[in-house]
């Protein structure tokens, strides 16, 4: 598939895990991802936590978060994205999974510290710290992927 088609699957997976799989014609997998996303979202109170975080009420977001459930979300989210890209013909270079894995790992670790992590005087909370660490994880993963692939070619 063309790059723009893989990007389309990735972007729809970012919108909702499972949409990329549906666009790839992987209907059972797509429905499973959507179902898992729905369960984890509801059990963790994720939509309410996102709303409170965007409204700047981080203490309430922390109180409403069910950490036992929300810690599943980064791995589910990043795996669904990787799977949609892979099924669309992407991820063929060695170690292409590293950006997704590093992002999921750091976002999950970030959730564990989100109720006490203060950056520049701002209590991060579960949404902002997880998002920040997700982007840092993607950057680390891409850097590792490029570095390893360069060394293996040399």
pTM of the model: 0.91
pLDDT means per 10 residues in the chain (154 residues)?
86 93 96 97 98 98 97 97 94 93 98 96 97 98 96 84
Tens digits of per-residue pLDDT, 56-89?
A: 999 999 999 999 999 999 999 999 999 999 999 9
| pLDDT in the model for residue 91 | 85
Rg of the chain taking only CA atoms, in angstroms: 16
Cβ atoms 144, 154 nearer than 8 A = no
Q: Would you kindly state where each structural domain of the chain is located, as residue ranges?
A: 3-153
Q: How many alpha carbons fall within 13 Å on the CB side of residue 43?
A: 13
Q: What is the pLDDT of residue 78?
A: 97
| pLDDT at residue 92, rounded to an integer | 87
* The pair of three-digit structure tokens given for residue 22, joined into one six-digit string: 């549906």
């Amino acid at each position: 598939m063309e790059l723009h088609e893989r990007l389309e699957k990735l972007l729809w997976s970012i919108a909702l895990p499972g949409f990329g799989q549906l666009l790839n014609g992987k209907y059972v997998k797509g429905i499973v991802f959507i179902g898992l996303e729905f369960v984890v979202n509801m059990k963790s109170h994720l939509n309410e936590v996102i709303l409170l975080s965007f409204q700047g009420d981080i203490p309430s977001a922390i109180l409403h978060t069910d950490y036992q459930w929300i810690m599943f979300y980064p791995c589910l989210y990043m795996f669904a994205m990787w799977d949609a890209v892979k099924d669309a013909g992407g991820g063929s270079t060695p170690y292409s999974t590293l950006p997704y894995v590093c992002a999921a790992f750091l976002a999950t670790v970030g959730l564990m510290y989100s109720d006490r992590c203060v950056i520049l005087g701002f209590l991060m909370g579960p949404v902002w710290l997880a998002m920040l660490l997700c982007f840092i994880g993607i950057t680390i993963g891409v850097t590792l992927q490029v570095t390893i692939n360069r060394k293996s070619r040399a």
